[in-house]
Amino acid sequence: MSQNWWDGAVIYQIYPRSFRDSNADGIGDLPGITDKLTSIADLGVDCIWLSPFFKSPFKDFGYDVSDYRAVDPVFGTDEDFDMLLDKAHSLGLKVILDQVLCHCSAEHKWFEESRQDRTNPKADWFVWSDPKPDGTEPNNWLSFFGGRAWTWDAQRRQYYFHNFLTSQPNLNHQNPEVRAAVIAECQYWLDKGVDGFRLDAIHTLAFDPEFRDNDPRGAEEAGGDDSRVAQPFGMQYIQSRQIDQPWGEVFLKELRTLGDSYDEPRFLMGELGGEDGMAMIDRFTQPGLLHSCYNFDLLAWDGQTAEELEGVLRRVTDNLDGHQITFATSNHDVPRISSRQVKRLDLQPRDTDRVAMMMIELELALHGSVCIYQGEELGLEDADRLTFEDLQDPWGIEFWPTFKGRDTCRTPIPWNANEPHAGFSLAEKPWLPVDERHLSRSMDQQMADPTSFRAQVKRRIAQRKAGEILMGGDLEVLDSPEDMVVFKRKSGNKIQDMIFNFGTKTASFDGIDVEGLSSIFTSPVPE
């Protein structure tokens, strides 16, 4: 087995705005995280991943960075981060930061200089293009957040490219000066002692330098009756031209060289999206590139059937080897897993806990590293009752009401059911409201109850870390009856079956009866 700490690691994602507010301004912050780190360490995880806390105008809530080296005052100070890092390390927790390196904020000093004219030192640091002869955009590329992926800049008299908001211009990583500058920003944090990075939407780094049109695919192929088909970018094969071009590997090699230069190599984990996520992971984790990646195969917006889950695992075994993958079933960009699965499996709300636990068990039974999103260990439901007036996410605001965006999974963590806003904040009004359904699942109640959902998750994490098979073994997907997912984990001469029944009735596999909405892990035996 590899000696890298991230092999088999359980990574806990913290979305700082919604974790804990220490100064009563309604927004979570770094001191609030530091205050609650012991509860995370108690869960038995190996690492925390912090979503962005860098200086930002927050048009996309921190995923639009205006200064990569500065802690935004909303979240605290540089000293607050240093205290967080020191405490995490003292508790045995590694710390990885969310780095947004494909684009930055339009308020970053780099872009402010670049847009001045076409001859300044940073003129080529972003993706600029002249209009077509009729004044229109250079091609048909569309923004993920609505509208064209090009915005006219009157001062420079050119269009600039942005995969997301108009205020998130794409950096031009074809320019070696850009790559060197971004590497330097990363080195600043690694020199502080940060243990690695999660690289946001790293597949959007490289574009077609000839600016050729994306190929069309139409509404039906884009998603049928999925509510997201209301977003036109789904009607294009964006991977054909707009994202994921081969020259992007140059930057990944340079970043890996930096990470490997430390006495203890730093972990590099990429987030990927695209038409064939597993093939992308295989390419992005070739020797000398990233250590691991995750995609959206287990983060499907509307959940998945047992057959679809089995298909994900088969794609893993068909495309990947060893620890080149990180699994995630929830994060800050998709509805919470329990609500997605209950909806997809056509179950009743009373089944939420059982489905949520099954998905935790499934994730912890897989190889590679895994991510647990804050609140997932509490079994929180998606806060899908938010009104339009509650929304903060520009994506949801743009496509309301067919698409509510990402706020539903970003509501504050309930720490104490008997305190204002469930102990998240003493502010009159937090940035997002606490879902009343979450009060009965508060952290204080669950930590005091040895039978709680959180207690069961803690035991499952301990079982994973205690077992050679779960930490480092191979995975083989088996043919299984309808509504079931079955796979083997193997290590050395030992073998163990993992059987999941996503149906509501008892079903059998290989003579083993499994109740509805439950799982059974057989005892390890010689192969």
Beta bridge partners of 268: 197
- Residue 185 annotated among the catalytic residues of the structure: no
Task: Give the active site residue among 7, 21, 80, 200.
Answer: 200
Q: Which of 37, 38, 43 has the alpha carbon at shortest distance from 16?
A: 37
Give the residue among 367, 353, 203, 190 at the shortest CA–CA distance from 261. Answer: 190
- What is the distance between the alpha carbons of residues 137 and 242, in angstroms, rounded to a whole number? 14
* DSSP collapsed to 3 states, 194-228: CCEEEECCHHHCCCCCCCCCCEECHHHHHHCCCHH
CA distances from 472 to 12, 65, 283, 371 (A): 20, 37, 22, 16
Per-residue DSSP letters for 376-428? GGGTPPP-TT--GGG---HHHHHHTTT--TTGGG-SPP---TTSGGGGT--SS
Alpha helices, DSSP H only, in 166-287? 176-192, 218-223, 249-260, 277-284
Contact indicator for 75, 64 with CB cutoff of 8 Å: no
Using CA atoms, how far apart are residues 128 and 427, in angstroms rounded to an integer? 43
Give the count of beta carbons closer than 10 Å to the beta carbon of residue 464: 20
Do 401 and 389 meet the contact criterion of CB atoms below 8 Å apart? no
Nearest to 310 by CA among 82, 103, 65, 477: 477
Which residue of the set 7, 29, 271, 377 is catalytic? 271
Which of the 8 DSSP states describes residue 57? -
Q: Check residue 58 and give left, alpha or beta (phi > 0: left; psi -120 to 50: alpha).
A: left
Residues whose CB is less than 8 angstroms from the CB of residue 248 and which lie 6 or more positions away in sequence, other chains included: 173, 202, 205, 206
**What is the dihedral sign for C-alpha 48, 471, 313, 207?**
positive
Q: Report how far residue 316's alpha carbon sits from residue 371's, in angstroms, rounded to the nearest whole number.
A: 17
Our answer to whether residue 376 is catalytic in this structure is no
Between CA 276 and CA 262 the distance in angstroms is: 33
Question: Looking at the annotation, which residues are catalytic?
Answer: 200, 271
